[in-house]
Amino acid sequence: MTAPLSSPATRLGKLVAAAADRLPLSTQIRRGVVDHPLPNSLERWGKLVGSLAAFLLVVMIATGVILAMHYTPHVDHAFDSVERIMRDVGSGWLVRYLHKNGASLFFAVAYIHVFRCLYLRSYRPPRERMWRLGVILLLLMTATAFMGYVLPWGQMSLWGATVITSAFSAVPVVGERIVAFLWGGYAIGTPTLNRFFVLHFLLPFAIFGVTVAYLGRRRLTKDLFALGIFLVAACVLVFWFPDHLGHPDNYVPADPAVTPPHLMPEWYFLPLYAVLRAIPDKLMGVVAMVGALLVLFAVPRLDRSPEHGGRPRPWFAVAFWLFALDCILLGYIGAKPAEGVWMVAARLATAYYFLHFLVVLPLLTHREPDARGRLPGLAATGLKALTALAAVLAVASPFGGETLREHDWSWRGPFGGYDAAQLRRGHQVYSQSCAACHGMKRVRFRELAALGYGDEEIAAFAAARFVTDGPDDEGEMFERPGLPSDAFPSPFPNDRAAMAANSGAKPPDLSLLAKASVGGADYVVAVLTGYGEPPPATEIPPGTYYNTAFPGHAIAMAPQIFDGAFEFADGAPNDAAAIARDVAAFLQWASEPELEARRAMGLRVAAFLLALLAAMYALKRRDRAVAMPKRRVKT
């Protein structure tokens, strides 16, 4: 990846070098990078991580600029504008999923780098300035990611922002005023959203600047093969599991009157969140959370042991892997409810986090116990394996809740798509039953073409419903038959009317219901077929029904689906379970209409990447064959 001489890239490199010479940091960096190079293999690793970070930064800025062209930072329009990107903007879902998952990958790369530096103790002189610059990068990334997560304006966005900004109210005396200043009001609102949007746009340029200083004159990796493996993994994430790392609640529009029962941040903030919750005092909780990050600045002072000249330090390895395990544990606890055994675990894990930095590291500094025995080596290996296992389990774990029966959906599996006949049956059930109370304001009649309906059929479906339009020339609102460009209307003029007609419980809009529920379509089936008699000693409030799947078990919706309640033209089975599956499939399609296009594009991208990967592997083997004899001469 080196540029030919006198190309623009080299000129840019010269410029950067010139700028670096004028920065007071430059000597430190040069001493760190050039005069004290790392061993060859580690240097290659460092280049790879740096290249990945640089690549992701470019992807994030490119996709972010495009998203900003379509996004509206206003509490009434933010969620809708993001959904418009997902559904109506050409390839908008791809850009948004790249940006959303790119943040996760960025943090994954950064965390791997941080742990690698901690393991190699890359923070020792003369590299301590580099290390501190890296911590500043991490802090900038944290601020940027936090503000970016607020922008989609889902429930998790609003309440995550509320919790973190409210943390400043822990500051004595002026805390409340700081919070009002951050919000620009008495609560998080449009002024907050707008300034977060601007800062989320601005900070990446600061990150870019610090990254240039941080990477300095290090060249990009030549290990295209490793880069290719990363791209394949990213492709699988974006095209097949784009929402796996986010909580479904963020597809529920923000509601300032209701906090989601299981509030949690994105995975990369879960350890910090666990630290915040572990301490039963507000001010100290906030201090601990901030301290957990800031303690990284002090690491070069805490670990002052001299060079060990490559002598193995088995006890240090044991301490390191214990610490890594502790961090993963903290992340796991951060996603659990703040009660009972989890609180105890959170306190222990938090205590160990600080113990590692404040006690273990300085102690190991003074003397590494003489460890010729195999015990620490074995312990380190065991801990390493345990850490890897914990990481895999934590990544694979679902968002909790009761386990639902999993159905054999047509879209299960990497090549699955929707079953158009099933969707048509589901649409029939929705129109004849659900639509009496539930609208779908993000799904337009014209989109039914994806179910195999013709233009005339779609026009007839639309015309069968009435939508409010106007005002007309007299200034009056009027009702007219629907058009294919209209969305599935709600039968109620507004939320208040919907609540009044349903004893206080608003029938939710169904456009995103499947995607916004833990368990997706399985959850929809479980609710529709989950009615029954409440178990003894369970009190159900008047006007509600007992339902095994609904959170809290008291649902305001009466049972709707019975054996034989609908007749399907295609003669498909119409027992209650089959009907529930059909309408759940329809709702799944309504919430993820792009799924088939996404997987089709994913397959093409994966095929391209695998071909590229094969070429990169061939290149790597050739390079190694050439490089091998050379190295033997050198050393």
Tell me whether residue 170 or residue 371 sits nearer to another protein (CB atom): 170
- When binding is defined by CB under 8 A, the residue of 70, 262, 441, 620 that contacts another protein is 262
3-state DSSP call for residue 634? helix
Question: Does residue number 338 form part of the binding site for another protein (CB under 8 A)?
Answer: yes
Tell me whether residue 57 or residue 170 sits nearer to another protein (CB atom): 170
Tell me whether residue 143 or residue 232 sits nearer to another protein (CB atom): 143
Q: Smallest distance, Å, CB 504 to another protein?
A: 9
Tell me whether residue 214 or residue 267 sits nearer to another protein (CB atom): 267
CB atoms within 10 A of CB 251: 24
Question: Does residue number 285 form part of the binding site for another protein (CB under 8 A)?
Answer: yes
Tell me whether residue 101 or residue 547 sits nearer to another protein (CB atom): 547
CB atoms within 10 A of CB 185: 12
Tell me whether residue 211 or residue 547 sits nearer to another protein (CB atom): 547
Q: Smallest distance, Å, CB 186 to another protein?
A: 4
Q: Smallest distance, Å, CB 474 to another protein?
A: 31
Q: Smallest distance, Å, CB 82 to another protein?
A: 21
Question: Does residue number 159 form part of the binding site for another protein (CB under 8 A)?
Answer: yes
d(CA 232, CA 229): 5
Q: Smallest distance, Å, CB 75 to another protein?
A: 9
Helices 314-334 and 340-355: angle between axes, nearest 10 degrees = 150
Question: Does residue number 27 form part of the binding site for another protein (CB under 8 A)?
Answer: no
Question: Does residue number 157 form part of the binding site for another protein (CB under 8 A)?
Answer: no
- When binding is defined by CB under 8 A, the residue of 257, 341, 537, 569 that contacts another protein is 257
Tell me whether residue 44 or residue 195 sits nearer to another protein (CB atom): 195
- When binding is defined by CB under 8 A, the residue of 39, 261, 454, 532 that contacts another protein is 261
3-state DSSP call for residue 19? helix
Cα 166 versus chain centre, distance:
22
Q: Smallest distance, Å, CB 201 to another protein?
A: 16
d(CA 237, CA 241): 5
Tell me whether residue 510 or residue 555 sits nearer to another protein (CB atom): 555
Question: Does residue number 209 form part of the binding site for another protein (CB under 8 A)?
Answer: no
**């010139």: which residue's tokens?**
18
Question: Does residue number 25 form part of the binding site for another protein (CB under 8 A)?
Answer: no
First to last CA, the chain: 25
- When binding is defined by CB under 8 A, the residue of 25, 143, 163, 499 that contacts another protein is 163
Residue 102 φ then ψ, to 5°: -60, -35
Question: Does residue number 333 form part of the binding site for another protein (CB under 8 A)?
Answer: no
Question: Does residue number 259 form part of the binding site for another protein (CB under 8 A)?
Answer: yes
Tell me whether residue 59 or residue 203 sits nearer to another protein (CB atom): 203
Cα 429 versus chain centre, distance:
34
Question: Does residue number 250 form part of the binding site for another protein (CB under 8 A)?
Answer: no
CB atoms within 10 A of CB 270: 21
Q: Show contacts with another protein in window 179-198 (CB under 8 A).
A: 180-181, 183-189, 191, 195
Residue 260 near residue 85, CB atoms below 8 Å: no
Tell me whether residue 341 or residue 625 sits nearer to another protein (CB atom): 341
Q: Smallest distance, Å, CB 502 to another protein?
A: 14
Question: Does residue number 400 form part of the binding site for another protein (CB under 8 A)?
Answer: no
User: What sign does the dihedral 375-379-385-389 (CA atoms) show?
Assistant: positive
Question: Does residue number 535 form part of the binding site for another protein (CB under 8 A)?
Answer: no
Question: Does residue number 532 form part of the binding site for another protein (CB under 8 A)?
Answer: no
Tell me whether residue 282 or residue 620 sits nearer to another protein (CB atom): 282
Question: Does residue number 280 form part of the binding site for another protein (CB under 8 A)?
Answer: yes
Q: Smallest distance, Å, CB 181 to another protein?
A: 5
Q: For another protein, which stretch binds (CB under 8 A), given 77-85, 103-111, 135-143, 177-185?
A: 177-185
Give strand pairing partners of 297: none
Q: For another protein, which stretch binds (CB under 8 A), given 144-152, 232-240, 273-281, 379-387?
A: 273-281
Q: For another protein, which stretch binds (CB under 8 A), given 17-25, 93-101, 276-284, 422-430?
A: 276-284
Here the tokens at position 291 are: 């301290």
Cis status, amide bond into 471, omega within 30 of 0: yes
Tell me whether residue 170 or residue 391 sits nearer to another protein (CB atom): 170
3-state DSSP call for residue 440? strand
The secondary structure of 336-382, three-state, reads CCCCHHHHHHHHHHHHHHHHHHHHHHHHHHHCCCCCCCCHHHHHHHH
3-state DSSP call for residue 610? helix
d(CA 136, CA 128): 12
Each residue 550-569 as x (binds another protein by CB under 8 A) or -, in order, gives --x-x---------------
Question: Does residue number 165 form part of the binding site for another protein (CB under 8 A)?
Answer: yes
3-state DSSP call for residue 568? coil
Q: Smallest distance, Å, CB 1 to another protein?
A: 43
Tell me whether residue 252 or residue 609 sits nearer to another protein (CB atom): 252
Q: Smallest distance, Å, CB 263 to another protein?
A: 5
Q: Where are the alpha helices (DSSP H) in 216-356?
A: 224-240, 270-278, 282-302, 314-334, 340-355
Question: Does residue number 401 form part of the binding site for another protein (CB under 8 A)?
Answer: no
Tell me whether residue 7 or residue 259 sits nearer to another protein (CB atom): 259
Question: Does residue number 499 form part of the binding site for another protein (CB under 8 A)?
Answer: no
d(CA 231, CA 243): 18
How distant, in Å, are the alpha carbons of 111, 210, 616 from that of 215?
16, 9, 24
What is the helix (H) or strand (E) element at residue 46, kind and residue range?
A: helix 40-70
Nearest residue to 586 via CA among 514, 491, 518: 514
Residue 447 near residue 586, CB atoms below 8 Å: no
Question: Does residue number 253 form part of the binding site for another protein (CB under 8 A)?
Answer: no
Question: Does residue number 287 form part of the binding site for another protein (CB under 8 A)?
Answer: no
CB atoms within 10 A of CB 603: 15
Compute the chain's Rg from CA coordinates.
28
Tell me whether residue 110 or residue 276 sits nearer to another protein (CB atom): 276
Residue 64 φ then ψ, to 5°: -65, -40
Helices 40-70 and 78-87: angle between axes, nearest 10 degrees = 110
Name the site residues for another protein (rule: CB under 8 A).
Answer: 159, 162-167, 169-170, 180-181, 183-189, 191, 195, 256-259, 261-263, 276-277, 279-283, 285, 337-339, 343, 539-541, 544, 552, 554
